Amino acid sequence: MSTQQEQPKEPESQEAPEDPEMRGAESPQQERLKEKEQGLAQAEAVDESDVEGETVHLKVFRYDPEVEGKQEPRFDDFYVPFEKGMTVLDAVMYARDEFDSSLTFRHSCRQAVCGSDAFFVNGRQRLGCKTQISELEQPVRVEPLPHQEVVKDLVVDMDHFYDQMHAVEPYFQDEDTPATNDLEEQRQSPENREKIKMSSRCIWCGACMSSCNIAAGDNQYLGPAAINKAYKFAMDDREGAEIKEHRLRILEQEHGVWRCQTQFSCTEVCPKDIPLTEHIQELKREAVKKNLKFW
């Protein structure tokens, strides 16, 4: 028999009575947290990987003209741990940071705005930061943009592309600019803004130019990106008739809109879904109408 004496039990603490008006009610913050937890639970219930295995097999183009032994183009293999939501840019950055710090490519905003990370992925021009690894077949083959001079690895020389863009004078030119002290607005109608809205989405990534067979064979062809940029200003009602005619003279030259053979390749690869081919055809019609005379 135990000789220990039983200790007296302490009285249980009693909670304050619940306010009947608050019973069953939740604060807005609690509701948001609850919704967030439900969303996380649903995300965890979804299959975390649509690719086989736990790693992503990358085949990355390598070339360095300044290093002996790397002057012959080749492909290097990298096996990157897969994470849900991983993009091609994420995978390439991991390969650089963890496996080979000499791997060279351009990137900046990672939000499909800067246009600096356009690659040739699995045989198609794509933005690295916008392309999901889970949507691609493996191995994921990453190359520099075709029809451009390769500087190093995935970096291409964009100087010619920028020259073509600037050749169409991509800036607003108004014949009736208000005086310095005049506060009058240069208004644009909602209908006109809607007409040129898509053309203003261009991020200068060069994907369309790289996909164009005409640009590949004609170094003087303005290219779809430059023509689309000219479309944005030529169709702006705030520019006068004389400026529009000046723009059309630039576009209807030998290496302008008439070189386009309506292949739609530029429209298909544009990461911002700009109807580039449609804009080029409309500028062709405007050029024809400009030269028609009825007398």
pTM of the predicted model over 0.85: no
Exposure string of 162-185, with b = 16+ CB inside 10 Å and e = fewer, is: eebbebbebeebeeeeeeeeeeee
The confidence score (pLDDT) of residue 32 equals 56
> What letter would DSSP give residue 113?
S
Q: How far is CA 85 from CA 17, 47, 134, in A?
A: 48, 12, 8
Do residues 97 and 104 make contact, with C-beta atoms less than 8 angstroms apart? no
pLDDT in tens, 221-231: 999 999 999 99
- What pLDDT is stored for residue 172 in this prediction? 86
| pLDDT at residue 212, rounded to an integer | 96
Task: Determine phi and psi for 17, rounding to 5 degrees.
Answer: -60, 140
**What number is the average pLDDT over the span 74-95?**
96
Residue 132 — φ and ψ, nearest 5°?
Answer: -80, 135
Our measurement of the distance from residue 248's CA atom to the centroid of its chain's CA atoms, rounded to an integer in Å, reads 29
What are the phi and psi torsion angles at 58 (to 5°)?
-105, 135
Choose the weakest-confidence range: 150-164, 239-253, 280-294: 280-294
**Does 4 have pLDDT greater than 50?**
no
Pairing of strands 140-143, 55-62: parallel
Q: Return mean pLDDT, the chain.
A: 85
Domain ranges within the chain, ordered by starting residue? 55-156, 159-173+192-291
CATH superfamily to which 55-156 belongs = Beta-grasp domain (3.10.20.30)
Q: What pLDDT, on the 0 to 100 scale, is given for residue 40?
A: 44
Q: Which CATH number applies to 159-173+192-291?
A: 1.10.1060.10
pLDDT (mean) for 124-153: 96
Q: In CATH terms, are 55-156 and 159-173+192-291 the same topology?
A: no
Quick check: 215 and 201 in contact, CB under 8 A? Answer: no
Peptide bond into 11 cis (omega under 30): no
Using the predicted structure, report yes or no on whether residue 109 has a pLDDT greater than 50.
Answer: yes
